[in-house]
C-alpha cells in the first residue's frame, strides 16, 4: 500500500489492498488511517466519518435531548448536537477522517477531554458531555467543541501526523495553540489567554492570538498541525 510508484495488475492490486481480518476485536486497524469497527450493537462515531460498511447498520444523528434537558439550550445555540452519529446493528463499519492518523485508547475508569475535531469513535458505555469553548465561540462560529469522556471502554482519536504528549505539573504550566491541541487529562481545566501582540501580524489568522493555558497535574496531547477550527463538518 505504501510503496510509491508501484505498478500492479488489477488482480494483484485487489489482493494487495483487500480487507483482512486481523483478529484485533471490536476496533481493528486496516491501516493507521482507516479503522474497522466489528459492530454488534451500537457505537458513537464522528459525523461524516463513515467511509463504508457491510451488514445491517443504521445511522442516527445524536438527538438534541440525548443527554437530557440540561444540555438543550447549549446544543440549540452551538449546533453541537449534530457532531455525533450513532451506528447501530451488525456488520463491519469503516471509519476515517481526512486521512488523519488513528490512535486507540483503552479507558479504565479514566477521564479525558478530546477536541471534537479529533474524536473518531467511542463505545456507548462511556459517559460523554459535549462542551462548547465559550472563549472561542465567536471565532469558530459554534464549530469548536470538546468532548469530556469518562468511564471504561475504547476510544478512537485522530491526529494529523504523530501526536506528542506534554506533561503538566505544579509550577510548570503548558501553553498550546487551540488548533494544535488534540486532548488532555480530564482533571485539567484549561484557561484561555489572549496575546494581543500576535494580532499585529498581518495575514495571520485571528486564531493565532489565543492560547490554551494548562496548569496543575496532568498531560496534554498536541499534533504538528493547526486544525482549521473555523469550518465545521458537514458530512453524513
Examine the pLDDT at 141 and tell me if it is beyond 50: no
Least confident of 15-29, 49-63, 101-115, 167-181: 15-29
Whether the CA torsion 200, 205, 208, 209 is positive or negative: it is positive
Provide the phi-psi class of 99: left if phi over 0, else alpha when psi is between -120 and 50, else beta. Answer: left
DSSP state of 135: G
Residues 147 and 57: their CA atoms lie apart, in Å, by 24
| CA dihedral angle for residue 155, residue 43, residue 229, residue 114, rounded to 10 degrees | -30
Q: What is the pLDDT of residue 236?
A: 32
pLDDT digits (tens, 9 = 90+) for 8-63: 878 888 888 887 776 778 999 999 999 999 999 999 999 999 999 999 999 998 76
Least confident of 54-63, 79-88, 133-142, 144-153: 133-142
Q: What is the pLDDT of residue 229?
A: 58
Residue 179 backbone phi and psi in degrees, to 5:
-75, -15
Place of cell 479507558: 107
pLDDT digits (tens, 9 = 90+) for 69-91: 445 444 444 444 448 899 999 99
Higher pLDDT, 21 or 128: 128
**How many other C-beta atoms lie within 10 A of the C-beta of residue 169?**
12
Mean pLDDT across the stretch 98-116?
95
State the average pLDDT for the chain: 81
Cut 0.75: pTM above it: yes
Provide, rounded to the nearest whole percent, the portion of the chain with pLDDT above 90. 56
pLDDT digits (tens, 9 = 90+) for 208-226: 477 889 999 999 999 999 8
Within the chain, strands assigned E span 27-31, 34-46, 50-61, 84-95, 101-115, 119-122, 127-132, 145-159, 164-168, 174-176, 181-185, 191-194, 210-214, 218-222
Amino acid at each position: 500500500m505504501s510503496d510509491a510508484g508501484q505498478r500492479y495488475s488489477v488482480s494483484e492490486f485487489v489482493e494487495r489492498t483487500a480487507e483482512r481480518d486481523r483478529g484485533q476485536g471490536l476496533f481493528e486497524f486496516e491501516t493507521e488511517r482507516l479503522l474497522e469497527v466489528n459492530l454488534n450493537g451500537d457505537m458513537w462515531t464522528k459525523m461524516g466519518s463513515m467511509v463504508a460498511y457491510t451488514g445491517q447498520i443504521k445511522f442516527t444523528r445524536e438527538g438534541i435531548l440525548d443527554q437530557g434537558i440540561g444540555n438543550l439550550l447549549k446544543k440549540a445555540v452551538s449546533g453541537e448536537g449534530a457532531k455525533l452519529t450513532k451506528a447501530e446493528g451488525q456488520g463491519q463499519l469503516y471509519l476515517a477522517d481526512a486521512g488523519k492518523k488513528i490512535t486507540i485508547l483503552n479507558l479504565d475508569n479514566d477521564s479525558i477531554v478530546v477536541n471534537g475535531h479529533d474524536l473518531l469513535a467511542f463505545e456507548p458505555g462511556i459517559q460523554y458531555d459535549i462542551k462548547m469553548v465559550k472563549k472561542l465561540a465567536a471565532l469558530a462560529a459554534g464549530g469548536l467543541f470538546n468532548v469530556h469522556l469518562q468511564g471504561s471502554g475504547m476510544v478512537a482519536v485522530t491526529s494529523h501526523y504523530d501526536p506528542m504528549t506534554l506533561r503538566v505539573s505544579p509550577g510548570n504550566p503548558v501553553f498550546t495553540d487551540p488548533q494544535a491541541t488534540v486532548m488532555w487529562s480530564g482533571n485539567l481545566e484549561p484557561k484561555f489567554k489572549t496575546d494581543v501582540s500576535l494580532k499585529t501580524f498581518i495575514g495571520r489568522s485571528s486564531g493565532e492570538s489565543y492560547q490554551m493555558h494548562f496548569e496543575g497535574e496532568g498531560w496534554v496531547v498536541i499534533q504538528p498541525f493547526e486544525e482549521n477550527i473555523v469550518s465545521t463538518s458537514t458530512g453524513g
